[in-house]
Amino acid sequence: MHSYDIFFFSIVFFLIGILAASFGIGFPVISVFAALSAVIFLLWKVLKEQKSVILVFLVVFILIGAGYYKLDDSKFKDNKIDFNKKINFSGLVTEDPQYSSNTQILTVKLDESYKGKIQVKLMLYPQFHYGDKISFRGKIEKPPLDSYASYLVKERINGLANFPDAKLEKSGLGSPIKSALFRFKNSIIASYQKVLTPKQAAFLSGLIFGERGKIDKDFKNAMSLSGTTHLTALSGQNITIIVVAIAAAVGLIFPQFWTFITTILIILGFVAMTGFDASAVRATIMGFTVLLANLVGRIYNPRNSIALAAFLITFLNPKSLVFDVGFQLSFMAVLGIIYLRPALKILLRFGDKPGFLAWRENLLMTLSAQLATAPVLIVVFGGFSLLAFLANILILLFIPLTMSLGFFMGLFGFISYYLALIVGFLASLLLDYEIFIINFFAKISLPINPNFSFWGVLAYYLLLLGIVVFAKAKT
């Protein structure tokens, strides 16, 4: 067995252990499963006369993954909070606040006599910022037992406080680098709000930074009905556009090695501004592995690149695997694009020509990603639009240009309002078109709402796997 195969299967078994522990399966049961797996691999080796028995030993990573999750979970549950009592408490704002039209949501790490992390909802003014230490008086409630609870678990939120009394004690207690990055991002978003209409500015902020707080409820609903919500979720395509653009620009000035280093630093700063969103981190890691492969002259392996990204994300936050819908959608989409897209290309007999305005390639990309993520979308959001494929084809062609204009507009905003206004005019034309397509397809959406069980989801993905195997056999 090659070293890259050992690397891949070690990560797969580690993730299986985390997955089992995430569903509350006890360590003894997981140990029995790991032992049975080892026996099966050993019998497989004897019957098939395989040269390697490494898989027999790699199953230990199932136990390592399960143990790692349970250790992390014990730390998460080790909190000290008086729930449902009116108390005085204080804490530090550890993330960039989420601002909407009339509220702000803070992530606060409790200090002094309490321990844990809570989410605080306040009125929009006075505004608080990352690094502020705030004293509160109010009630902290336990997280609800609904779909929103998954997001709270993923964010390691132990409690919720809605509209307590709040008073600023001190500012500037956070990381200076993180504070500067958040200020830079918020300045760019402010320049959008000066140049564009509120709906255009909110949509562009979502495309580039994943900021959805300013997007109104009606447009969020339209994006959901039209199957275009992923556009503001910092998908792999968004990050790929950013990585390619930065690498190309830096490559005009620096040699290859320094282009690689500079691109890494810039993208890391960008991902930090997004709050290390799972899909952004996944796409960034995969983008870096492509650049690194080119730098050292090695063949790029997307399978191991995906595995590495999944490992790093779950190592930093083991709860991402089950409780982060963005993580699931991001990885299923990229797996669909890498493995299902070539199969569909063969079965549909598209050939190598992209077609007018690259419609064939856009169709394959959209269709493969949507098919791969459909069960997750249906289970989590309760539905899926059959016309989402067409809506995405009509929009995705213009997203790279829209994002590029958005970057230039934000940078020009630091130099000249009039330069930003000129670029903003061009961007507004594209944004109006994209918003029109989203609203149009929201009105004529054809939603489907099948009742997916675990076995239904499993059968669906086995069918997709069969399509990939069948297409590969034809070649």
Residue closest to 238 by CA, chosen among 280, 285, 188: 280
Domain final residue, candidates 174, 205, 223: 174
The domain total for the chain is: 3
pLDDT on residue 163: 92
The structure's pTM equals 0.75
Residue closest to 283 by CA, chosen among 331, 336, 230: 331
Same domain, 51 and 9: yes
Helix axes 198-209, 399-412, angle to 10 degrees: 100
Sequence-distant (6+) residues with CB within 8 A of 85 are 139, 140
pLDDT on residue 354: 59
Same domain, 204 and 55: no
Q: Please report, in tens digits, the pLDDT of each residue of the chain (475 residues total).
A: 677 778 888 888 899 999 888 888 888 888 888 888 888 877 766 555 555 677 777 888 889 999 999 998 888 888 888 888 898 999 999 888 888 778 888 999 988 788 889 999 999 888 899 889 999 999 988 887 665 567 788 888 888 999 999 999 998 888 888 888 888 888 888 888 888 898 888 888 888 877 777 788 888 888 877 777 767 765 555 566 666 666 666 777 777 777 777 777 777 777 777 666 666 676 677 667 766 666 666 666 777 878 888 888 888 888 888 887 777 877 888 788 888 888 888 887 776 665 555 667 767 777 888 788 888 777 776 666 677 778 877 887 788 788 888 888 888 888 888 888 888 899 999 999 999 998 888 887 666 666 666 677 788 888 888 888 888 877 6
Domain of residue 106, residue span:
86-174
Same domain, 60 and 189: no
Separation of first and last alpha carbons in the chain? 25
Strand, helix or coil for residue 176: helix
Same domain, 432 and 286: yes
Which value, in Å, is the radius of gyration of the alpha carbons in the chain?
Answer: 24
What b/e sequence results for 101-132 when a residue is b if at least 16 CB atoms lie within 10 Å of its CB, and e otherwise?
Answer: eeebebbbbbeeebebbbbbebeeeeebbbbb
Cα within 13 Å of Cα(367), Cβ side: 16
Domain final residue, candidates 58, 76, 94: 76
What is the number of other CB atoms lying within 10 angstroms of the CB of residue 373? Answer: 22
Residue closest to 381 by CA, chosen among 439, 333, 449: 449
Same domain, 156 and 278: no
Q: Which residues pair with 136 in a beta bridge?
A: 89, 166
Domain final residue, candidates 52, 76, 100: 76
Same domain, 308 and 428: yes
Is 81 among the domain residues? no
DSSP β-ladder status, 159-162 and 165-170: unpaired
Same domain, 379 and 464: yes
pLDDT on residue 92: 92
pLDDT on residue 64: 92
Same domain, 98 and 219: no
Residue closest to 352 by CA, chosen among 362, 363, 360: 360
Same domain, 266 and 402: yes
pLDDT on residue 328: 80
Phi, psi of 241 (to 5 degrees): -60, -45
Same domain, 190 and 108: no
Confirm if 9 and 55 have CB atoms less than 8 A apart: yes
Residue closest to 175 by CA, chosen among 68, 95, 264, 286: 95
DSSP state of 143: P
Residues in the chain: 475
